[in-house]
Amino acid sequence: MLNPSTPPRRFQAFMRVSRTTFKKLDARLSTTGPYLLRYNRFTGEPIRGVPGRPLRSTRQEEIAIGLYALSSLENYARIAEIWGKSDSNYIVDYVDRFADAVNQIAAEYIKWPRGDRLQRTMDGFKFISGINGVVAVVDGCHVEIIKPHRKEMPGDYNSYKKRYTVILHAAVDCDGLFVNVSVGWPGAMPDSTILQKGNITELVAGTCNPHATDGRTPRFLLADGGYFLRPWLLIAYDYLTTDTYEKALNACVDAGRVVVENAFGRLKGRWR
């Protein structure tokens, strides 16, 4: 699959990223701890003599296997067979190393909007929803898991979907880019509780100004009715309302929330 002769469309269908994106990802991950200690930064070849299990692949192949494992529904034994590895434990190592490296650079790409980007985001949401001053849209997404062990209180993970899940809570900008992510919350936890416990409140304190004066635009977040109303959080009215103004505002809120719903849809479609 990493052969240069592989057609671009086949490469992207298999790896879920374009070859150009893959090369950029490889170049960036080559300087992170998990790969820097085990591979030559420039050639991607294994560094011999490192402690631990002997290396049996290049850095590029490890990254490719990590991408494939996260984007497919295959088990590790099948992935080892597809990639010509003799032991599925190697796949476990590759995926763990890949995930660790990506987590190290995540803050470079998942960033809260500030400065010019903040103004562009507010302008974008105004165009999409008609609401001025929206900094980001927040929502949660359930990720199904195996029933946790009894010691981990499995009832806390039994969501309203009647499945065991953890929650990915996120905020996105007007382009559908994730600007804040918090994952691992028990599936039965309400969205408002996650919002309160997460680090997004610290970001809001430095960005949102719902009581702005002197002609400045008030700034706030947008969310659905699963959240409690806060000074910096705009939610929809009850959808059973008969008030014309409230119905109009609900339509604007829904238009803005489409951005985060689409972002979750793309995330699920690419990484399954």
pLDDT digits (tens, 9 = 90+) for 109-143: 999 999 899 999 999 999 999 999 999 999 999 99
Pairwise CA distance, residues 130 & 122, whole Å:
10
The size of the chain, in residues, is 272
For residue 184, is it left (φ>0), alpha (ψ between -120 and 50) or beta? left
pTM of the shown model: 0.85
Q: Which tokens belong to 170?
A: 């996120």
Alpha-helix residue ranges (DSSP H) falling in 72-114: 76-82, 88-109
pLDDT tens, 43-97? 777 775 455 555 568 889 999 999 999 888 889 999 999 998 888 888 998 999 9
Q: Encoding tokens for residue 31? A: 């300087």
Characterize the bridge pairing of strands 178-186 and 165-172: antiparallel
CA dist 263 and 251 (Å) reads 19
